[in-house]
């Protein structure tokens, strides 16, 4: 119930002036809680009440807290939910009465220990002192005087005591804000010292955010622009990193990415955008979430989530401000880390480029002229056969045949490729291969020849499996897919912590990414830029295709996707982007392993070259104190078993995928 009388007087009517004066004199420079205790004691005596307490309300944020109950100070300021009951009290500046049992559970939990237990139905008179930015709701428990007089006594008391109490509340709020800002600066200082490693930076950022805002859990998700996904790296106790990926439009995190605003979900599961797969951790009861965008100059680069406030029922407005300020520092540090890593990569790339330049010579104009003026026979009748053995050709003629393959399919005219540039590109690629037993220029030509034969025999373009651009990049990828191969495996570089591993190990496929980088160097070299005539959109697409083709030659990727390939081969659908990508990968793998389709003499020579590389790597691993795999150890390797295992486990499943009903091989045969 509520009375209709409004208090507008500026004088004392029911209160004892002497007691009021004594109270005001006693309100000297003390803490806010101590001031509240003195006011509570005064009102408790005047109202003949069992207990008096004050709820401090931040009007701008509609947040409520209690510091003192009666004559006792709580161990810390306790936030309570701003219920509809309390909101209604502030809207109607008159006294309202209700039973203690009708209040929210958090309020009852605070008050119940201070009241007598013999009467469960405690009557509470509430009276608001409305002001800005803070207001007070005075709660008088079980007063013995008339409720109207209770309101009058409260009004007259706060008529003189409120200025002092308000000043104390504002002062403590500013002190708390200052302390938070100092903590934020310490956090920022620590973040700026960890930009060398993005993974370490993100881990420290999550730990510091939890401490700063006092949350149980924290996660930072960054936007993967290439795949348009949110990426979160989770760290286990053994420092193992587990990556989780989510669409950009899922959950509260997705809403924050799209809206760019902070979401403070005081009841997380009731939020309309809540999705337990992204908003929380497996096995964790997500009660409250504070989700904020992480920005830098170009826009939003990620999102941070703080889950379950420690010690309070929800995250408050100050937590929101701290989270936003933290996100700015976090965004700056992340971009600094990315730039730092790019600088480091540029330095390593420069070292590798210098090494490449020292090892290889540039293509002279005379070499280009010799190819142009070559009058040799370049019309081998079986060049377009899928079983053709390139060893039948003289090594000096291979560049001429490589140029011929581009012209036979018509790529030079379709894509306006300058003849001089094409020849210089082929010669540059030839010199980009080291003199290693297997992964040499001969192997590159062999892969390109099989790709050329596949385009012709399978009629990839005519039957709509490939576009002209896909076919062009397939042929180019065959030539460049093993550029600057050192005759060693990815694991060799990772275990040996080589320069290549330092540059590419975080992305996986160490050697394949190096081959791609060297291919890009050649394509960007003046006089070798055979893709220059492409429109910008086609050029970007061509580079993406080249990347996909080269990365597909990593057998680790092949084995990881083999089951998917088998499923797609049973029901291949033209125009399906996933199926097309799978076909591209399979055809690239087929070209890379096409040596196994040749005559027995060629297969034996290939096996000998591969094993020579393997055993040389094993010898190096032994010399540096590592234990080489059995396949690389010339003293332990049983060659027949290794060959059978390779054919049964790698080659046969690959080519069987192309023989399934509905797939490429069957379609061509029909």
Backbone angles phi, psi at 306, to 5 degrees: -110, 130
Q: Establish whether 360 is a catalytic residue.
A: no
Neighbouring CB atoms inside 10 A of 430's CB total: 20
β-pairing, 299-309 with 215-224? antiparallel
CA dist 619 and 563 (Å) reads: 35
Backbone angles phi, psi at 123, to 5 degrees: -95, 130
Strand, helix or coil for residue 298: coil
The candidate with the shortest Cα–Cα distance to 332, out of 303, 291, 297, 305, is 297
List all residues 6 or more positions away from 239 whose beta carbon is below 8 Å from its beta carbon. none
CA dist 378 and 381 (Å) reads: 9
CA dist 601 and 221 (Å) reads: 55
CA dist 337 and 196 (Å) reads: 6
Which of the residues 336, 428, 439, 481 is marked catalytic? 439
Alpha-carbon distance values, 531 to 300, 415, 469, 538 (Å): 34, 8, 10, 9
Question: The tokens of 36 are what?
Answer: 């509240």
Tell me, what DSSP letter sits at residue 236? -
Task: Write down the H helix ranges in 47-146.
Answer: 84-91, 105-111
Tell me, what DSSP letter sits at residue 598? S
Alpha-carbon distance values, 516 to 337, 479, 511 (Å): 24, 11, 9
Strand, helix or coil for residue 465: coil
Question: The tokens of 422 are what?
Answer: 């094409």
CA dist 112 and 101 (Å) reads: 10
DSSP H helix total and E strand total for the chain: 24, 12
The candidate with the shortest Cα–Cα distance to 220, out of 238, 236, 204, is 204
CA dist 259 and 271 (Å) reads: 15
Residues marked active site are found at 439
């Amino acid at each position: 119930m509520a009375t209709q009388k409004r208090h507008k007087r500026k004088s004392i009517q029911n209160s004892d002036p002497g007691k009021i004066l004594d109270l005001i004199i006693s309100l000297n420079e003390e803490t806010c809680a101590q001031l509240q205790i003195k006011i509570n004691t005064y009102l408790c005596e005047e109202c003949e009440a069992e207990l008096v307490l004050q709820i401090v309300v931040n009007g701008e944020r509609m947040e409520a807290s209690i510091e003192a109950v009666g004559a006792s100070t709580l161990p810390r300021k306790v936030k309570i939910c701003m219920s509809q009951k309390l909101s209604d009290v502030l809207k109607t500046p008159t006294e309202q009465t209700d039973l203690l049992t009708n209040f929210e559970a958090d309020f009852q939990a605070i008050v119940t220990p201070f009241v007598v237990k013999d009467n469960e139905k405690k009557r509470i008179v509430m009276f608001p002192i409305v002001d800005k930015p803070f207001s007070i709701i005075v709660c008088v428990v079980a007063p013995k005087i008339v409720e109207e007089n209770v309101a009058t006594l409260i009004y007259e008391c706060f008529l003189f005591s409120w200025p002092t109490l308000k000043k104390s509340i504002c002062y403590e709020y500013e002190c708390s804000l200052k302390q938070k800002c100092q903590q934020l600066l310490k956090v920022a200082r620590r973040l700026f010292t960890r930009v060398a490693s993005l993974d370490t930076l993100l881990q420290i950022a999550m730990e510091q955010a939890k401490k700063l805002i006092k949350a149980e859990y924290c996660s930072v998700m960054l936007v993967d622009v290439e795949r348009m996904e949110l990426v979160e790296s989770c760290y286990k106790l053994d420092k193992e990193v587990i990556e989780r990926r989510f669409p950009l439009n899922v959950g509260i995190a997705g809403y924050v990415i799209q809206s760019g605003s902070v979401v403070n979900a005081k009841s997380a599961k009731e939020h309309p955008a809540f999705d337990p797969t992204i908003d929380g951790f497996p096995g964790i009861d997500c009660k409250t979430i504070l989700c904020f965008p992480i920005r830098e100059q170009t826009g939003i680069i990620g999102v941070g989530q703080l889950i379950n406030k420690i010690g309070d029922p929800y995250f408050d407005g100050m937590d929101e401000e701290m989270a936003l300020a933290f996100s700015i520092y976090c965004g700056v540090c992340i971009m600094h880390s990315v730039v730092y890593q790019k600088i480091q990569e540029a330095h390593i790339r420069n070292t590798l480029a210098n090494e490449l330049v020292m090892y290889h010579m540039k293509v002279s104009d005379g070499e280009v002229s010799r190819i142009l003026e070559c009058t040799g026979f370049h019309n081998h009748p079986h060049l377009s056969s899928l079983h053709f053995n390139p060893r039948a050709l003289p090594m000096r003629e291979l560049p001429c045949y490589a140029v011929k393959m581009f012209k036979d399919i018509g790529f030079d005219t379709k894509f306006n490729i300058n003849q001089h540039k094409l020849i210089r590109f082929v010669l540059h690629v030839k010199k980009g291969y080291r003199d290693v037993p297997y992964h040499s220029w001969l192997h590159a030509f062999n892969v390109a020849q099989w790709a050329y034969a596949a385009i012709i025999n399978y009629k990839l373009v005519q039957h709509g499996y490939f576009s002209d651009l896909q076919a062009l990049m397939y042929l180019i990828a065959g030539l460049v897919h093993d550029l600057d191969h050192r005759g060693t495996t990815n694991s060799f570089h990772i275990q040996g912590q080589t320069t290549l591993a330092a540059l590419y190990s975080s992305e996986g496929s160490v050697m394949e990414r190096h081959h791609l980088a060297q291919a890009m160097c050649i394509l960007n070299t003046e006089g070798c830029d055979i893709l220059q005539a492409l429109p910008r959109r086609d050029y970007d697409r061509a580079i993406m295709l080249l990347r996909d083709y080269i990365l597909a030659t990593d057998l680790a990727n092949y084995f990881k996707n083999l089951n998917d390939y088998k499923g797609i081969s049973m029901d291949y659908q033209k125009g399906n982007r996933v199926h097309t990508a799978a076909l591209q990968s399979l055809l690239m793998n087929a070209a890379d392993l096409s040596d196994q389709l040749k005559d027995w003499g060629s297969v034996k020579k290939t096996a000998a070259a591969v094993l020579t590389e393997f055993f040389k790597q094993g010898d190096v691993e032994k010399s540096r104190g590592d234990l080489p795999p059995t396949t690389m150890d010339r003293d332990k390797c049983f060659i027949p078993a290794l060959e059978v295992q390779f054919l049964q486990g790698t080659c046969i499943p690959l080519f069987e995928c192309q023989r399934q009903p509905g797939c490429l091989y069957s379609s061509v045969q029909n």
